[in-house]
Each structure stands twice: as C-alpha cells, then as structure tokens.
A and B are shown apart, each in its own frame.
Chain A
Amino acid sequence: MISFISKRLCVAFCVCLTVSGLSFALMFLTGDPAIAIAGSGGRAEDAEAIRIAYGFDRPVTVQYLDWIGSALTGDLGQSIYFNVPVTEIIGNRVGVTLTLGFISFIVALAIAVPLGVAAALRPNGWIDRIALIIAVSGQAIPSFWLGLMSIVVFGVWYGLVPISGAATWQGYILPVVVLSYYAIPELMRITRSGMIDVLSTDYIRAAKAKGLPMHLVISRHALRNAVLPLVSLAAVQLGQLLSGSIVIESVFALNGLGRLAWESLLRSDLPVVQAIILILSLLYVLLTTLADILNAILDPRLRGAS
C-alpha cells in the first residue's frame, strides 16, 4: 500500500511539473507579452521598457524557474490589469466557487448514488424509469436555460429566492440545484451500471446464500465493488464543479473563478489566467491521485498493480 501511494505521488509530481511548464508556456504562445501589455497603441520603446521591467528579456528557462520558484512560495505574480497580487484576486473569488462546487457535488452524490442503486435493484422498474428520465433530461437541458428558467419561476414569479448574487445563503439554492442537476446523470448512470454488473456476480449470490439480509448484501458486498468506477468519475466531476462554471456563474451573477478566468481572458490579464490554469490543473492532479488511492483502499487487487 505504501509503495502504491508513493508511486502514485511520483506520477502526480511529474504531471505537476509538466502542467506548470505548459501553463508557463501559455504566456508566450499568445504572442509577445510585452506588446500585449503595452497595448495596441504602444510604441516600440514602451514595449522594450516593459520587457525589461517584467524580466521578459531574460532566457526562458530563467524566467520559468523564477516563476515556479515564486509560485512555490505562494507568489503567483501581479495582475497586469489590476496591478495587485494574483493570489489576492483569486482569493477574493475562490470562496464562492468552492462553496458552490462542494455543495453541488455533495447534493449530486446524495441523489445520484441512492437513485442509481435503487434503479439497479429493479432494472426497468418504475424507479429505474424515473431515474432514466432524470438522467436524459439532465443531459439534454442546457444549464443556462435551466438557470434562467429557474430564476424566472422561483425568483421572479414566486419570489422564493434571490434572483442573483451570493450575498445570502439563499442565493446558492438555485445555482446548486442547476449545477448538481448537471452532475447527477453521469454519476447515477455509472452507479446503476456498476451495481447491475456486481449484482449478477457469483459472490453476491454467495453472500445471499450465507443468509445475509438484503441490505447487508447491498451495502457490504455490492456497493463497495460497484463504486470503484464511480470514484474515478466523481473525482473528475468534482474537479469540474470546483473549477467554476462560466455559464452558471454568469447566469446567477456569482463572482467566482469561472467568471474571473473568462474576464481575465478578455482583458488579456495573463498572469491571472496562468495562475488559474495552474491551480485548476493541480487540483485535478490532486483529485485523481486521491481517487486512485481511495480505489486502492477499496479494492486490494489494485494495490499490487502499477
């Protein structure tokens, strides 16, 4: 187990290095950053002055090491647009996204897993059919439309919840509903199919033959095996939810990471974009590594492999 975890962490570290290199390279892929900062009306001398001021005249490797070194100490540079530290800007916006993402994730799991299990217990039964309708509609309805409609119905017509912003906790209700509705279908379908596969195995029949009551057969024997594919998917989903949805945040006027990334792109505020990409990539690496470790805890066969 320890060797498994250390191997996974080594792989994760290598991925992190690659990701940091790529997000650093972004700065230069979009053209000369000095000219971008100087603006369309900037003169050549201005660009040259900027190049020296920002250190763009140094060799790329030195710049990279400098950047990664300060990133490691928590300094992600200055925003070109606001001229304040990037960490400060991100720090102001990340809370909304994290709150929304985590709550939506928990709500989605709490609905998707029991529903998937219930659907698998009686395939083509009425629960299964309702679950299918939820899944299909969840995947078919665009979240911006659902978001706008829910604002119109619950915010404007009935006045039950605030129509925008995150000033109060009520402001999170509609975004959480819409975002978790987006996450539920995949989570539920993978729970269902995993569960159906597991329920037809011999060891489930053997567990029943031991006289275990059905709830133990499901919780102890079936679910543990059925959630293995779910864990991997859930890690990716959580990554998506935590990285902030531009659509949801725009529709509900929430100042989260998704919106920040989009605004920064429009403003060519590259240090911010760079930092967001780096943070989100590292978040994905962290989550998938955690998912792998969790799966190895759940399934002893995985510990020996890789």
Chain B
Amino acid sequence: MIETVLNIQNLRVSLPTDRGVLHAVRGIDLEIKPGQALCLVGESGCGKSLTAMSIMGLLPRYAKVTTDKFDLVGQDLTQKTQAKLAKMRGRDVAMIFQDPTSALNPTLTIGRQLTEGVMRSEGISRKEAEARAIELLERVGISNPAARLTQYPHGFSGGQRQRIMIASALMGQPRLLIADEPTTALDVTIQAQILQLLGELQSDLGLSMLLITHDLGVVAAIANEVAVMYAGRVAERGPAKDLFADPLHPYTRGLLAAIPVPGMTPRGSELPAIPGRVPGLIGPMAGCAFRDRCALSSPECGHDPVPQFKPGNNRFVECLRAGEAAP
C-alpha cells in the first residue's frame, strides 16, 4: 500500500502573457492519502484548475511548470515523457469536468466513449469493456444502461451526462479522481444528487479524490481535508471539520462569514463581503497576497516570507496574524 496517492511539493505554474509572466500557481504543496478526499477551494483565477491540469499533464504547451516533488501513485511525473503521461491518464488518474454538456463528444455513442480508453489501455475486448460500462452506468444511476450505450450524448440531460462522465472516469479504475467543479454547471437539485453520488462512490470504492470547487457547501458534503487557495498559494489547509469550526486565515474567515445561515442571518441584512479584489498575478509579488483586503494587515505583511504555522492536527496556515480575532 502506497502512503500517498498524490504528493506535490512547491508546484509553480506560470503562463506567458502579453503583459508579462503570469504566476498562476506560486508554490503549493498538496498531499492526498489513499481513500481521502481533498477539496481545493478558492475563487476563480486562484490557480486551482491549473493545479488539476498539471496533475493530468494537460496544461497548455506554453505553460511553465516547476516542482520540487511531483509524485502520483509513487511515480515521479517529472521524469515522464508525454507518451508515458498519456498512459497514466485514465488508469492512475482520471478527471471529470465542469460542464458535462460539452465534455462528451456529440458525434460518438456513449458506449464508444466509455469503452475506448480501457479497450486500449487494458487491451480488453469490446464485450468486456461494455460489460464494465453497463455495470458502472448502473452504479451511477443511469437506468436501462445496456440500451443507452448505443445512444448519443444529445439524448441525455445535463445531470445524466455528468453521471456518464463520472462512469467514464471510473472505467479505468483510477487511483485518483480529479473533479473540477463537477456541479457548477448543474441545477441545484441535480447538484445535490451528483455530490451524494460522488460521496457514495468515494466511500464505497475507497476512491482518492481531488475535488476542486468554489462552493463551500460542496466541501462540507464530501471533503476529508480542505485546502483554501488564494492567488496561487495555499492560504490554509486542514481537516474539513476543524477548518470549518475554527478557521485560522482571515481569508477563510471572510469566506465562511459570507455564507448566510438559515435562521441565524437576519432576513434582509447585508452579508459581510470581503472588500477589494484579487490582486493581479503578473510579475513579481512580495509578502501576503491577501494583505490589501485584510482587516488585520500591518506593514510587516508585505515582507517575504510570510510566516507559516502548523498548529497541530494536520493543520497549516500561512499568515502573520493567523488565529487573531477579526476586529
């Protein structure tokens, strides 16, 4: 049994733009143990999707990636050629995407799209692959799966398509499942169903999962562990329960305070919002990226490196004034 499914140290991703180099991911550490679900939370543009893409090896060609350590199921990804990385996809790591309506090829049948990966990677026959596909479609809640293999994506609703995408990702029995905002494009009621399904699959199959979202409700539903990202760095990380009960980073606190609680938040009252905007990530940056929006910031917050604390129980926070009560 391997100790970690995913172990990333100091991942940096930068993209050249017309206005200079955009440092999208600025040195993050991630670790996922077998059977664990890690949630990567953050607002748009904080680098969470690029992190996922770098694990899949599907970053655009012009992106520059550096790491100190990049292990997936005990294999060093930095030493792999493109062809070897392609072979790991689907078997060691699989991914489901944000928009299920566009993630299925409109011109190929569901059966073809589910089976093509494993028929190649495992060298099994179409019959065997279809048997597995039927089993998985049944598992994700598609009724009459055998008949639906011959249908095309446009015959399915958004929620059904996301179920099909999940089945497709599970075809290769991956060690790690990456879900990039899997519920964002769906109706609220469907969102809950998909989340429940993911949660069930995770506990039934012992899946390791990296779930990327900006929705803290999703986090609470599934995650064992949470990493809050801000401007390309992990601001705070810890077990989901602890992090929700006792957020240490001012940004995490701001996020949690902005969620209305039924029965607690007075009707019609203004929700507390975090003032200001996410800083631009082009060019060099010193100190804490959140300091301009932080009520606790002091001049020392602009200094590098930003102090990091590990207050026990697997928790981590990067903030000079971590844990101090907001005024």
Contact = CB atoms under 8 A, between A and B. Distances in A.
A176 to B, nearest CB: 33
A299 interface: yes
A300 B110 CA distance: 12
B165 A211 contact: no
Contact of A209 (B89, B104, B121): B89
B58 A205 contact: yes
B89 A220 contact: no
Given A205-B97, A206-B165, A301-B154, A212 B117 contact: yes
A211 B172 contact: yes
B172 A203 contact: no
A203 B116 CA distance: 14
A238 B90 CA distance: 42
B108 A213 contact: no
Contacts of B108: 220-221, 224
B15 to A, nearest CB: 16
Interface in A172-209: 201-203, 205-209
Contacts of B95: 206, 209
Interface centre among B95, B105, B154 (most CB of A within 10 A): B105
Interface centre among B58, B107, B116, B121 (most CB of A within 10 A): B107
Interface stretch (B70-78, B80-88, B216-224): B80-88
B87 A211 contact: yes
Contact of A211 (B105, B106, B121): B121
B24 interface: no
Interface of B: 56, 58, 83, 86-91, 94-95, 97-99, 102-108, 116-117, 120-121, 152, 154, 165, 168-169, 171-172
Contact of A225 (B83, B98, B107, B152): B107
B86 A203 contact: no
Nearest to B112: A220
Given A202-B98, A206-B97, A301-B154, 15 more contacts: A202-B103, A203-B106, A205-B97, A209-B58, A210-B89, A210-B94, A210-B117, A211-B87, A211-B91, A211-B172, A213-B86, A214-B86, A216-B116, A220-B108, A225-B105
B4 to A, nearest CB: 21
B86 A298 contact: no
Contacts of A225: 105-107
A209 B154 contact: no
A283 B97 CA distance: 46
Interface string A216-227: 100011001100
A300 B152 contact: yes
B104 A203 contact: yes
B148 to A, nearest CB: 14
A221 B104 CA distance: 10
Given A220-B116, A301-B154, A211 B104 contact: no
Given A205-B58, A299-B107, A211 B90 contact: yes
Closest 6 CB pairs of A and B: A211-B90, A210-B117, A211-B89, A202-B102, A203-B105, A202-B103
A168 to B, nearest CB: 44
A211 B99 contact: no
Contacts, number: 80
Contacts of A221: 105, 108
Nearest to B53: A205
A212 B154 contact: no
B106 A210 contact: no
Contacts of A213: 83, 86, 120
A206 B107 contact: no
A225 B58 CA distance: 21
Given A205-B58, A225-B106, A300-B152, A211 B120 contact: yes
Contacts of B168: 206, 210
B107 A300 contact: yes
Contacts of B165: 206
7 contacts: A201-B102, A203-B105, A211-B120, A213-B83, A221-B105, A221-B108, A301-B106
B72 to A, nearest CB: 13
B126 to A, nearest CB: 15
A224 B116 CA distance: 16
A224 B108 CA distance: 9
A207 B105 contact: yes
A220 B117 CA distance: 12
B299 to A, nearest CB: 44
Nearest to A204: B105
Nearest to B154: A301
B90 A206 contact: no
A208 B89 CA distance: 8
A13 B184 CA distance: 48
Contacts of A203: 102-106
Interface string A223-257: 01100000000000000000000000000000000
B58 A208 contact: yes
Nearest to A224: B107
B99 A202 contact: yes
Given A203-B102, A214-B86, A300-B154, A209 B94 contact: yes
Nearest to B57: A208
A218 to B, nearest CB: 13
A225 B108 CA distance: 10
Contacts of B58: 205, 208-209
Contact of A210 (B83, B90, B98, B99): B90
A298 B104 CA distance: 15
Contacts of B103: 202-203, 205-206
B152 A301 contact: yes
